[in-house]
Structure formats: structure tokens, C-alpha cells
């Protein structure tokens, strides 16, 4: 960790973090946005709002009142625990297997869904097609290596919500507990980008599941089927230490990442390294900053953890695993290893169009039609 970098005096984000602005007090725009939205958050009010949602959901579909994505990590595992144990919801759980899913994560998932007696489905696309999709990303020198997994998860959730008529799609993340990443760091849901990057190597007809992340299907599930996205930590207390202890005690849950995030994906260490090579920041620093904002870490402790976790050494094992699973050579990752990848500005995307209408997202966010994550994603300045 470099000592001479200017950082936010409240969190630990550096001055070269994408789209960051410091005010006259030295506080960053990400902290100010968080403070504006969440400083008056009240647990009782949040839970009351959630209780209204589940009351409506039970009436809509008693068989599957909620759909829950589970990765085997602590947040999604705790979410499904709470929905079943505390709120007595009948849920359908699913996992999108992105081709890099770890056996460790599968073991955690098996423990939890078995003990809760919850139906669980793995979703994926054809493995050979999937390999070609990743290779297309690499061939086009795209920075968004995780785009396939992100869109696959969204597509799978939208598909199941429509197919099973599930009113609530619940995720164990929220803008209260997780950082909202600027577009340069992670593009997120952009089906138009995926199609542009894949063609002509892979045609959209070869990955039909992914069309459920496109605007027509999202519109259909949101406004016709009235499926509601719910970011669970937005409504309840979220203490990571207590969550970990509960999961370990009741389910034998194991933190295979030793405190690092996304151990469910064997490619994650490599992707984090690629991001650090390109932007000089990693997902470690944004998560630590968010924990400081929501009061679960002091700034001093966050800096200490950053010094221990923010390594810049090449993750040889993770990169080797990517090469093995995709049947490619290390040289095929050269532009990522050197930090010379291309971001969304270089391709056809919805995002470039949506950025121009950030004012519209502000209106729809205030009216409750879009999420804070979506609004912030396209309006950071």
C-alpha cells in the first residue's frame, strides 16, 4: 500500500478512484452520497417496510414467495437463513454457475439448503458456448471479464421469476452495505454490450438464457409480472461478524476466503488483479471503504486490512485456472495483465445512452421505480 496517496479522510478511497471528487473538508463524493441516503436509516422502519413486502408476496405466490440467489458466501447464505427461519417464507434458491464456480462454495451451499430443506437449482449455459463467450471477451480486449457471470445471474433470476411467477427476487447485497461501483470499475447489467462483444464469434441465439437480461424481458418481469427486486440488507441490521458466527454455528459454514470476498469464483483473484493493473484500485479497497461508512470498521482498521490484503502480486494459481478452463495460453491474457484493457466506452452499450439521462433515473428513483444502485451507477460525476 502506497503511503503518499491522497485519500478520503472519512473512508480510504484514493484520489485516483474513478469519478471521485473531494469536497473542501477532504471527504469524497461516495461518502457524501452514502451519508445523504443512509445517515437516518432506522432498523425498525426498514423491517416494517420489508414485512409489507412479504405479506404481499405470500398472497401472490404461496409456493414460491421469494427467489434467492445463493453463492455460498456469507451474505447470500445469511439472507436465505433469515427468509426461511425468521420470516417463514417459502423460497426457491438458485445459483448461476459461471464456469469458474468453486467446489468450496458448493459445499457451503449444500450444507445450508439441505438443513433449511429449501429447493435449490443450479443454472448455467452450455459449457462449450460459455468458453467461446469468455474467449470473445479476451479477443476484443475487454476489461469486463466478469460481465458474463453478472449477466448470467441476472438472466437466471429473471427467467425463474417469470417462469415460476415469483413476486420477490431477493439478493444479499444492498447499497447500504456494498459499494456502488462506477462504470469504469464494473459495467454491470448491459446486454447490448454483451451482444456487441460476442458477435460474430458467438451469436445471441447460442446463449438464449441471457436474453432475460435484455430490456424487453426486464420490462416484462418488472411491469407485467410485477416482480420486485429486493436488496435484503437494506431492511435489516447487518453485522458481518455476527453473521459469520451464526452461519458457522448453525450450518458449519466455512470462510474459504479467509476474510476475502467472492471465494465462490476461482477467477476472482485474477480479475481483481486485472482491475488493479488497469485502474490502480481493487475491490478490496471499495469494500473496506463501505464497511467504514456503515460503521463496521474504523478507518484505521481499514487501512491496516488494506495493507494486508491489497496485494499486487500476480495471482498465479487463479490465472492458471482461467487458462486451463478456457483452454488458452497466458499470452492471451496479456492486455489484462498489463492493464491495457478496453472499457465500455469502446463498445456499443446501453450505458453510454443511460448516462445522458441520469436526471430521469433520479426521478424514477425518487418515485420508487428504480433502485438507488441503478440511479447512482449512471449518475456519478
Check whether 162 has a pLDDT greater than 90: yes
Comparison of pLDDT for 4 and 165, the residue scoring more: 165
Check whether 24 has a pLDDT greater than 80: yes
The neighbour count for residue 178, using CB atoms within 10 Å, is: 21
Distance CA 200, CA 302 (A): 45
Look at the chain and report how many structural domains it folds into. Answer: 1
* Burial category of 198 from C-beta neighbours within 10 Å (exposed 0-12, middle 13-18, buried 19 and up): buried
Distance CA 40, CA 104 (A): 38
Distance CA 117, CA 106 (A): 16
- How distant is the alpha carbon of residue 236 from its chain centre? 19
Smallest CA-to-CA distance from 161 within 73, 88, 254, 225 is with 225
The predicted model gives 157-178 an average pLDDT of 96
The helix or strand, by DSSP H or E, that contains position 163, with its residue range, turns out to be helix 147-163
- The per-residue pLDDT for 189 is 83
Comparison of pLDDT for 364 and 296, the residue scoring more: 296
Using the 8-state DSSP alphabet, how is residue 21 labeled?
-
Smallest CA-to-CA distance from 148 within 104, 106, 197 is with 197
Asked, for residue 305, whether it belongs to a domain, the answer is yes
The predicted model gives 185-189 an average pLDDT of 84
Using the 8-state DSSP alphabet, how is residue 206 labeled?
G
Asked, for residue 26, whether it belongs to a domain, the answer is no
| Confidence band for 145, pLDDT divided at 50, 70 and 90 | confident
- The per-residue pLDDT for 374 is 76
Angle at 156 between CA 151 and CA 159, to 5 degrees: 120
Question: What's the whole-number average pLDDT of the chain?
Answer: 92
- The per-residue pLDDT for 48 is 97
The helix or strand, by DSSP H or E, that contains position 114, with its residue range, turns out to be helix 103-116
Check whether 311 has a pLDDT greater than 70: no
For residue 121, give the 3-state DSSP assignment.
strand
- The per-residue pLDDT for 313 is 84
Backbone CA torsion sign across 196, 199, 205, 208: negative
The predicted model gives 218-241 an average pLDDT of 94
Asked, for residue 20, whether it belongs to a domain, the answer is no
- The per-residue pLDDT for 243 is 97
Q: What is the pTM of this model?
A: 0.93
Q: What is the pLDDT of residues 357-366, one digit of tens each?
A: 877 877 877 7
Query: Do the Cβ atoms of 305 and 285 come closer than 8 Å?
Result: no
The predicted model gives 112-121 an average pLDDT of 97
Q: What is the pLDDT of residues 39-60, one digit of tens each?
A: 899 999 999 999 999 999 999 9
Asked, for residue 151, whether it belongs to a domain, the answer is yes
Asked, for residue 120, whether it belongs to a domain, the answer is yes
Check whether 368 has a pLDDT greater than 80: no
Asked, for residue 12, whether it belongs to a domain, the answer is no
Asked, for residue 200, whether it belongs to a domain, the answer is yes
What number of helices (H) and strands (E) belong to the chain? Answer: 17, 5
Using the 8-state DSSP alphabet, how is residue 228 labeled?
E
Distance CA 197, CA 201 (A): 9
- The per-residue pLDDT for 2 is 63
Could you give the residue ranges of the DSSP H alpha helices within 294-371?
A: 299-309, 316-326, 334-337, 350-355, 358-366
Asked, for residue 30, whether it belongs to a domain, the answer is no
| Confidence band for 1, pLDDT divided at 50, 70 and 90 | low
Smallest CA-to-CA distance from 284 within 266, 252, 323, 258 is with 258
CATH number at residue 106: 3.40.50.620
Q: What is the DSSP secondary-structure string of 56-79?
A: HHHHH-SS-SEEEE--SSHHHHHH
Check whether 346 has a pLDDT greater than 70: yes
Check whether 103 has a pLDDT greater than 80: yes
Q: Write the CB contacts of 367 (distance below 8 Å, at least 6 apart in sequence).
A: none
Give the range of the structural domain holding residue 54, as residue numbers without chain letter.
Answer: 43-377
Amino acid at each position: 500500500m502506497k503511503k503518499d496517496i491522497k485519500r478520503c479522510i472519512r473512508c480510504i478511497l484514493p484520489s485516483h478512484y474513478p469519478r471521485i471528487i473531494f469536497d473542501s473538508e477532504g471527504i469524497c463524493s461516495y461518502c457524501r452520497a452514502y451519508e445523504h441516503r443512509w445517515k437516518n436509516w432506522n432498523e425498525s422502519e426498514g423491517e416494517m417496510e420489508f414485512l409489507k413486502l412479504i405479506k404481499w408476496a405470500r398472497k401472490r405466490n404461496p409456493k414460491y414467495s421469494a427467489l434467492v440467489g445463493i453463492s455460498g458466501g456469507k451474505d447470500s447464505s445469511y439472507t436465505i437463513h433469515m427468509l426461511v427461519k425468521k420470516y417463514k417464507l417459502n423460497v426457491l434458491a438458485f445459483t448461476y454457475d459461471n464456469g469458474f464456480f468453486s467446489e468450496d462454495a458448493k459445499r457451503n451451499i449444500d450444507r445450508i439448503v439441505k438443513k433449511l430443506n429449501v429447493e435449490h437449482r443450479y443454472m448455467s449455459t452450455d459449457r462449450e458456448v460459455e468458453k467461446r463467450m469468455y474467449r470473445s471477451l479476451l479477443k476484443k480486449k475487454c476489461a469486463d471479464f466478469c460481465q458474463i457471470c453478472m449477466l448470467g445471474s441476472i438472466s437466471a433470476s429473471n427467467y425463474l421469476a417469470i417462469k415460476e411467477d415469483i413476486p420477490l427476487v431477493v439478493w444479499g447485497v444492498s447499497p447500504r452495505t456494498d459499494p456502488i461501483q462506477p462504470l469504469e470499475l464494473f459495467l454491470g447489467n448491459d446486454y447490448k454490450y454483451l451482444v456487441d462483444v460476442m458477435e460474430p464469434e458467438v451469436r445471441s441465439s447460442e446463449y438464449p438464457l441471457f436474453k432475460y437480461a435484455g430490456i424487453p424481458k426486464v420490462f416484462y418481469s418488472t411491469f407485467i409480472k410485477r416482480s420486485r427486486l429486493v436488496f435484503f440488507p437494506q431492511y435489516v441490521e447487518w453485522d458481518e461478524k455476527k453473521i459469520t458466527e451464526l452461519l458457522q454455528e448453525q450450518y458449519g459454514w466455512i470462510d474459504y476466503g479467509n476474510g476475502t470476498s467472492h471465494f465462490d469464483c476461482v477467477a476472482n483473484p485474477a480479475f481483481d488483479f486485472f482491475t488493479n493493473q488497469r485502474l490502480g484500485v481493487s475491490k478490496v479497497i471499495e469494500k473496506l471503504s463501505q464497511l467504514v461508512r456503515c460503521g463496521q470498521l474504523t478507518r484505521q482498521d481499514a487501512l491496516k486490512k488494506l495493507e494486508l490484503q491489497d496485494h499486487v502480486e500476480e495471482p498465479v494459481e487463479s490465472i492458471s485456472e482461467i487458462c486451463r478452463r478456457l483452454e488458452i495460453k497466458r499470452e492471451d491474457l496479456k492486455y489484462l495483465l498489463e492493464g491495457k484493457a478496453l472499457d465500455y466506452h469502446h463498445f456499443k452499450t446501453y450505458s453510454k445512452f443511460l448516462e445522458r439521462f441520469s436526471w430521469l433515473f433520479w426521478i424514477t428513483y425518487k418515485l420508487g421505480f428504480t433502485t438507488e444502485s441503478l440511479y447512482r451507477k449512471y449518475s456519478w460525476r
